[in-house]
Amino acid sequence: MIKKILSKAVTSLAGRDDFEIPEHDSPLFAEIDWDKLPRHVAVIMDGNGRWGKEHSVLRTAGHSAGVGTLKNILKTAIGLKLDALTVYAFSTENWKRPETEVNFLMNLFYESLKKELQELHEDNVQIHFIGRIDGLPESLQKQMHEAEDLMKNNTGVKFNVAVNYGGQDELVRAVKKIAADVQAGKISPEAIDETLVENSLDTCGNLPVDLVIRTSGDMRLSNFLLWQAAYAEFYFTDVNWPDFSPECFVDAMKAFANRDRRFGGLNDNKK
């Protein structure tokens, strides 16, 4: 009971709730190399439970605090004019967690989306949900479709939220779709190429992922964007997701600017 009361109070410890989209000349962006920014950033928002433990509160308080972090990172991504931000909110493996935590998360997604809907729209965000959406509670599915529909004509950052998402599951669904088209005679097996596979994924229409950020110290993909991250750079930080600030995000941008991306080729100066 005490942990529960404390959880409510401590949630406000993380993040700032008055954070606005930073202008191009904001001090936050002072050391940014604008020509070397990633276009598509993917984030594995990990460490909410550890954050809760660190503050002697429930794991779920970490999840609540994490929503505020996401809001601020999205606003930073808008300020940076990134093309796309894709975030991992719930994996196909996360159903293994206790029912109380899963239910808490489903409710948190629903309530947060409902609360933030108008502001996201005003910020010109194009929201899109990726993953096995039909496996989610009906009320959440409805809210998600409503949000996608509301923002479908927006032209700002592509904000993809992965819920009940697994990279392997996404590929299996894509393969099934292609196989059905082959069986129906719509395409020949020879027509199957990288572009067709890419266009059959949930992220169809997005650029390849340039940078994957994972918070909280673990260094793995946990089934996230297996195809899309083929040539992504990786950035790991020990900071738990609720403490991951816009400054932390900018640090990741700076690290990316210093990476030497070769895509299997050679650098100009090594030719």
Per CB under 6 A, 88 contacts ligand IPE = yes
Nearest by Cα to 41 from 202, 226, 220, 256: 256
What is the rounded distance in angstroms from the CA atom of residue 182 to the CA atom of residue 174? 12
Per CB under 6 A, 26 contacts ligand IPE = no
Catalytic residue among 94, 107, 154, 223: 94
Per CB under 5 A, 243 contacts Mg ion = no
Nearest by Cα to 66 from 240, 235, 234: 240
Catalytic status, residue 123: no
Q: Which stretch binds ligand IPE (CB under 6 A): 90-98, 141-149, 193-201, 229-237?
A: 90-98
Per CB under 6 A, 218 contacts ligand IPE = yes
Per CB under 6 A, 45 contacts ligand IPE = yes
Q: Which stretch binds ligand IPE (CB under 6 A): 3-11, 87-95, 196-204, 231-239?
A: 87-95
User: Between residues 45 and 125, which has the closer beta carbon with respect to ligand IPE?
Assistant: 45
DSSP one-letter string for 145-166: HHHHHHTTT--S-EEEEEEEE-
Catalytic status, residue 164: no
Per CB under 6 A, 71 contacts ligand IPE = no
Per CB under 5 A, 60 contacts Mg ion = no
Per CB under 6 A, 46 contacts ligand IPE = yes
Tokens 């993909």, residue? 221
Nearest by Cα to 236 from 247, 224, 221, 258: 221
Characterise 15 by phi-psi region: left (phi > 0), alpha (psi -120 to 50), beta (else): left
User: Between residues 52 and 156, which has the closer beta carbon with respect to Mg ion?
Assistant: 52
Per CB under 6 A, 106 contacts ligand IPE = no
- Residue 123 identity: D
- Closest residue to ligand IPE, judged by C-beta, is 49
Nearest by Cα to 125 from 91, 90, 154: 154
Three-state SS for 112?
Answer: helix
From the list Mg ion, ligand IPE, none, pick the one residue 89 interacts with, judged by a Cβ distance below 5 to 8 Å according to partner type: ligand IPE
**What torsion, rounded to 10 degrees, do the Cα atoms 23, 24, 27, 30 define?**
170
User: Between residues 44 and 250, which has the closer beta carbon with respect to ligand IPE?
Assistant: 44
By annotation, the residues acting in catalysis are: 46, 94
